[in-house]
Structure 1
Amino acid sequence: MKVLQVLPALDTGGVERGTLDIAKALVTAGHSSSVLSGGGRLVTRLQKQGSEHILWSLGKKSPLTLRHVRPLRHWLASQQFDIMHLRSRLPGWICWLAWRGMDPATRPRLVTTVHGMHSVSRYSEIVSCGERVIVVSESIRDYVLGNYPKCDPGKLRLIYRGINPLEFPRDHQASEKWLSDWYREFPQLLDQRVITMAGRLTRLKGHHDFMSVIEKLRDSGQAVHGLIVGSEDPKRMAYARELYAAVAERGLESHITFAGHRGDLRDIYSVSDVVLSLSTQPESFGRTVLEPLSEGRPVVGYDHGGVAEILSALYPRGAVAVRDVDAAATQVAAILAGQVAPPRRNDRFLLDVMAKDTLSVYEELLSSPRQKQV
């Protein structure tokens, strides 16, 4: 197979990691893998894995982006891809408009993935336009079926995102050197029960609820320290400043640490007693829930979206009602007291399964009759 994946850029994030995972699986299986994007820090890794990168920026929200439709159509015709896999809305629109004008007998077969619960609109509907539509959780499948009635349920394929268990091995222990460096940088975490939240500093992640949980645990006599791991969002700096001010106003400056962006989450999870996932809006999946669970670390999270599906499969006791910070604090206390069994082993949300199932969707589509109309 000759496969092209399309997304806005290759910097960082779940969509980008998933793109590289599928690209690597294609190369490993002997197929031809190409990725079209506006570039980014992950391009070098993609190329080292054996894929081709096409630098073509289709993610700028401007009417001028439409000028790419015709040249893209000609380029696609010359490349003769078997599959074109669209992973984002604006590039999806440009590619779909180009694809729609191609010869139905020879154009690539079209796959889209719905990665998130976008605002419901005609613009967002493009993610359901594929001949096959991959949904990354049951919650996303329900979102598509509930909001886009023109989407044929028969073309939906549920493929959970997955991780490599070797990257987040059960009972992982950080090296002595890492521990020495870590506690040199964050001495306030020594001899504390560490409660961690991972994710960029955006309002939907529920950082204010996290502060409330830490506050309640401290008030009940628990020697806990909150650790927030995640970068500031350049587009939302006011929110980051709001968080820093809230920590000071609550008197939690000695009990909550902002660690910023980190590339060593596996080790950070290993020194965390509990990980919290308190997103106030349902997430499509929840990688920062799955990763610590894979290591055997307990996670307490709001019971909605993809997070609820992961917790239901691996750690049901970790699920609490949305915005119920009292229940979250109570559950964390029970875990710290040793009253809750550890998570089940992750045998469901695996990278190998995700890759195999995705390639199977490609193969299934290639063997199916072509549509004459879109």
Structure 2
Amino acid sequence: MSQPLRVVQLLPALESGGVERSTLEIAEALVEAGHHSVVASAGGRLVEPLLATGSTHVDLDLGRKSPWTLRHIVSLRRLFEQLEPDIVHARSRLPAWVCWWALAGMRGRRPHFVTTVHGLNSPGHYSSIMTRGERVICVSETVRDYVLQHYPEVSARKLQTIPRGVDPDHFSHGYVPDAEWRDRFAQDFPQLAGGRLLTLPGRGTRLKGHAEAITLLARLHAAGIDARLLLLGAGDEERGHYLDELWDEARRQGVADVMAISPPRSDVREVLAHSALVLQLSTKPEAFGRTVLEALSLGRPVLGFDHGGVGEQLREWFPQGAVPLGDATRLAVRAIELLRFPPRLAPIKGPTKAAMQASTLALYREVAGHALVGAGHG
């Protein structure tokens, strides 16, 4: 093997979400390949699994939108001078800016600067930092098209689409949770027992379509279908006011007794496999839509709005699950069809976690093979 690389990944925190999962997956691949993996963030519940795979974590609150965050420019520069990384990989806008300014003050050998565009952020100067990497990873063709549309000055040659992927061994087709898990799930959520389970995975933010899911649940009950709804991962304690809004809406529509909201959980595979229908109803286009692929890989049908990365995945792998954005009537009609006549899904051959890891490490090696002195910032 060639000389091991030193790679530092930067992101706001390690709590939950697609950015965080991608960070851990790349950290794991780096260590397994004999490279040195460091992650800098404000920490969170995913630090422990990160450390368990052999990476190092550095506590730096790079994502707080405050003037105080700028003090980390010096801290990050010192970290780079100490570690002498080959690659710094920024996965979010504010950490990317802090990194950019830290690199600007370095003399002599500087690490290469790589970015990943994980989201369809509002175009403008602040978001443009994610296009300034020597190489810019796009997590889907939707993202690549978005970057080229809004940043025409960016060379298409430095953009590389590396789709997020699933582990087909973990999300195996036809997987069924064991009886012990099912009993525990029933104890945790007794209000979900007895009906057809709908699951909408996603953080507790208005853009994820939780209100649309509640309306769908009410329409299904009006049609005589005993459906239950789990808003998986939306129960963030910091979003108490938003959760109160959701419960008020559920009570208004008469479905509060057949709905549950959970915090982020580690048994996403089991929950998706246990669901009759998985929902992806984001009102803002998603960059990728990993849970679409995870559910389909398990053989579970997915119903979602046909835009962004979710629409891209559904059109490719399960077109009958794509409905026009915001069309509540079509959404209900399609949900009724999928619940009354459950489709038999064949195994899909979508993008895999292993392919994403291999492509990213290959990109690191390619970038690090260039001249290092003065590189990475221009």
What is the TM-score normalised by the length of structure 2? 0.92
Between the aligned partners of 1:57 and 1:171, the Cα distance in structure 2 is 41
Between the aligned partners of 1:230 and 1:47, the Cα distance in structure 2 is 23
Is the 1:199–1:288 Cα contact (8 Å) retained in structure 2? no
User: Which deviates more from structure 2 when the two are superposed, residues 254-263 or residues 191-200?
Assistant: 254-263
Between the aligned partners of 2:252 and 2:57, the Cα distance in structure 1 is 48
**Partner-residue secondary structure (3-state), 1:232:** coil
Give, in angstroms, the shift of residue 253 of structure 1: 2.4
| One-letter code aligned to 1:47 | L
Q: Tell me which of 23, 29, 32 is aligned to 1:25.
A: 29
| One-letter code aligned to 1:172 | Y
Say whether 1:166 aligns with 2:169. yes
Is the 1:135–1:156 Cα contact (8 Å) retained in structure 2? yes
Is the 1:198–1:228 Cα contact (8 Å) retained in structure 2? yes
Aligned pairs (5 A) from 1:252-331 = 252-331=255-334
Gaps of 5+ in 2: none
Give, in angstroms, the shift of residue 227 of structure 1: 2.4
- After superposition, what is the alpha-carbon deviation per residue over 1:31-65, rounded to whole angstroms, capped at 9, x for unaligned? 11111222222222222211122222322322233
Distance 1:151 1:58, change over 3 A: same
- After superposition, what is the alpha-carbon deviation per residue over 1:231-271, rounded to whole angstroms, capped at 9, x for unaligned? 33444322211110111111112333334443322222222
Distance 1:127 1:226, change over 3 A: same
Say whether 1:4 aligns with 2:8. yes
Q: Tell me which of 212, 215, 235 is aligned to 1:212.
A: 215
Say whether 1:183 aligns with 2:186. yes
1:101 aligns with: 105
| One-letter code aligned to 1:12 | S
- After superposition, what is the alpha-carbon deviation per residue over 1:181-208, rounded to whole angstroms, capped at 9, x for unaligned? 2223333433312222122221111122
User: Which deviates more from structure 2 when the two are superposed, residues 168-177 or residues 247-256?
Assistant: 247-256
Distance 1:70 1:201, change over 3 A: closer
Alpha-carbon RMSD: 2.0
1:150 aligns with: 153
- After superposition, what is the alpha-carbon deviation per residue over 1:119-175, rounded to whole angstroms, capped at 9, x for unaligned? 222111111110000010111112211222232211101001112122222111111
Distance 1:169 1:56, change over 3 A: same
| One-letter code aligned to 1:16 | E
| One-letter code aligned to 1:88 | S
2:242 aligns with: 239
**Partner-residue secondary structure (3-state), 1:5:** strand
Between the aligned partners of 1:131 and 1:28, the Cα distance in structure 2 is 25
2:44 aligns with: 40
**Partner-residue secondary structure (3-state), 1:130:** coil
Is the 2:16–2:264 Cα contact (8 Å) retained in structure 1? no
Is the 2:192–2:259 Cα contact (8 Å) retained in structure 1? no
Aligned pairs (5 A) from 1:329-348 = 329-338=332-341, 340-342=343-345, 344-348=346-350
Give, in angstroms, the shift of residue 369 of structure 1: 5.3
* Percent identity between the two aligned chains: 43
**Partner-residue secondary structure (3-state), 2:187:** helix
How many residue pairs get aligned? The number is 372
Distance 1:86 1:339, change over 3 A: closer
| One-letter code aligned to 1:42 | L
**Partner-residue secondary structure (3-state), 1:123:** helix
1:356 aligns with: 358
Give, in angstroms, the shift of residue 331 of structure 1: 1.3
